[in-house]
């Protein structure tokens, strides 16, 4: 991934698996591999895929997205 990828699509599930620490750890590895391959890690885009449980309310979805953005230091736009 560090050598060739242009993007990364991590995922979380509202009312399920939502682990911002793991996302940050994975991104650190991608950045390290990109640097080792002579690439600028900031050129590898990341877009969080948010899956929802059928029972998740709009407020729960919004809260999960906001929490992930705050924890990872990224925007929601």
Question: Is 46 part of a structural domain of the chain?
Answer: yes
Question: Is 38 part of a structural domain of the chain?
Answer: yes
Question: Is 52 part of a structural domain of the chain?
Answer: yes
Give the residue numbers spanning the domain of 29. Answer: 7-72
pLDDT of residue 55 exceeding 90, the answer is: yes
Stated as kind and residue range, the H or E segment containing 37 is none
Question: Is 57 part of a structural domain of the chain?
Answer: yes
Task: Using pLDDT thresholds of 50, 70 and 90, give the confidence band for residue 76.
Answer: low
Average pLDDT of every residue of the chain = 87
Q: Is the dihedral of CA 44, 8, 64, 24 positive or negative?
A: negative
* Domain count within the chain: 1
Q: What is the pLDDT of residue 16?
A: 81
Question: Is 64 part of a structural domain of the chain?
Answer: yes
pLDDT of residue 19 exceeding 90, the answer is: no
pLDDT of residue 75 exceeding 80, the answer is: no
Question: Is 16 part of a structural domain of the chain?
Answer: yes
Q: Which residue has the higher pLDDT, 73 or 65?
A: 65
């Amino acid at each position: 991934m560090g050598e060739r990828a242009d993007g990364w699509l991590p995922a979380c599930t509202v009312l399920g698996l939502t682990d911002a620490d793991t996302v940050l750890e994975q991104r650190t590895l991608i950045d390290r591999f990109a640097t080792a391959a002579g690439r600028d890690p900031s050129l590898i885009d990341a877009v969080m895929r948010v899956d929802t449980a059928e029972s998740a309310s709009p407020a729960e979805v919004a809260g999960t997205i906001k929490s992930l953005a705050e924890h990872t230091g990224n925007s929601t736009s």
